[in-house]
Structure 1
């Protein structure tokens, strides 16, 4: 019993592919722009960390790159915000921006961590998630979603949100800079007793 899916007819797909190139180019351009915009937004977290850590850009970039997941970076920002942002309204605004970024991350991950299905004409017809999802009754793998007009509109909406988020982060950074407690303004810790 063969449990594998049927091998695609690569020769047939490749022969038909030139006629369907426009659709693939449009889909891949949307995915590329999503990844490009998301990456630019994530790199702005370096400046958020720089301000929250009261450090320089290089130090913040070292911290950023040492934390090898987006989730770890967002967790650090949340913790640093609690410790170093004295203005609660500013802290809430930062939290909302990070929630928006996290929502975009989930959507971006959908396109970075999936298999793309092609039909015999080379059209991208669907994606298949590479995530395990727990439903009420079972564990399922590989949720499929069609690459239809609705999906393309979702991708376009995501791209608009990523662009808006980028501008909102740039607008927020100067306010964060003035609202962060610096090392010189923090109360000093009591000296440790010597034996």
Structure 2
């Protein structure tokens, strides 16, 4: 009689990797725990600054669409990817902005945000590898990439001090970008109002009634 349990057969034939050792991750040494908290704080700071900047594009959309805040929030939320939201901003800008300097400034603000988005997405779509001591050592990007005609998956990057500084620098750039967008919004509003006055023959929009 074969005493082999069907579950044992399934495990023996499985393509799954061996489960990790959970103890080092749950209770790393004091030095590694401090480093882990530094990693968590760095990632959290980057994501917070990125999210605050993305939300500012609600106001950009409101001005470009010439609508109110609730409507722009509905449009922003309905377009449920950052790429779709930025595409709408870029297309509206091409249709509405007549001043080349204003258009260039908005385009640059979007590009700066997109540069940070690349790193933010990389962190949000990676698996974080932990060694036997409990140290977070590197990330594996859980996304398919195509390089030179070849499909790649799980691109590995070390999570060392140099990488953490890259995150900190991006967070600093996001802080500057946040201030720059706030400074730009009133100028964008003035430009679009001037366009409406020109279109109405120099009269305030209410004079059309």
TM over 0.5: yes
Among residues 96, 103, 125, which one is paired with 1:113 in the alignment? 125
Give the equivalent residue in structure 2 for 1:74: 86
Give the equivalent residue in structure 2 for 1:165: 177
Instruction: Give the whole-Å Cα distance in 1 for the aligned partners of 2:198 and 2:91.
Output: 18
Judge conservation of contact 2:28–2:135 (CA < 8 Å) in 1: no
Structure 1 stretch displaced more, 7-16 or 74-83:
7-16
Give the equivalent residue in structure 2 for 1:149: 161
Instruction: Give the whole-Å Cα distance in 2 for the aligned partners of 1:34 and 1:124.
Output: 18
Unaligned runs of 5+ in 2: 1-12, 201-209
4+ runs deviating over 6 angstroms: none
Give the equivalent residue in structure 2 for 1:191: none
Establish whether residue 63 from structure 1 lines up as the match of residue 81 from structure 2. no
Give the equivalent residue in structure 2 for 1:43: 55
Post-superposition shift, 1:15? Answer: 3.8
Judge conservation of contact 1:30–1:156 (CA < 8 Å) in 2: yes
Give the equivalent residue in structure 1 for 2:145: 133
Deviations 1:21-80 (A, max 9, x none): 111110011111111111100000000001101111111111101111111111110111
Post-superposition shift, 1:16? Answer: 3.0
Normalised TM-score (structure 2): 0.84
Deviations 1:81-118 (A, max 9, x none): 11111111101110110011111111110111110011
Instruction: Give the whole-Å Cα distance in 2 for the aligned partners of 1:127 and 1:32.
Output: 16
SS of match in other structure, 1:126:
strand
Aligned length, in residue pairs: 187
Instruction: Give the whole-Å Cα distance in 2 for the aligned partners of 1:61 and 1:49.
Output: 9
Q: Which is bigger in relative contact order (C-alpha 8 A, separation at least 6)?
A: 1
Instruction: Give the whole-Å Cα distance in 1 for the aligned partners of 2:17 and 2:95.
Output: 52
Shift of the 172–19 alpha-carbon distance from structure 1 to 2, 3 Å rule, reads same
Judge conservation of contact 2:39–2:164 (CA < 8 Å) in 1: yes
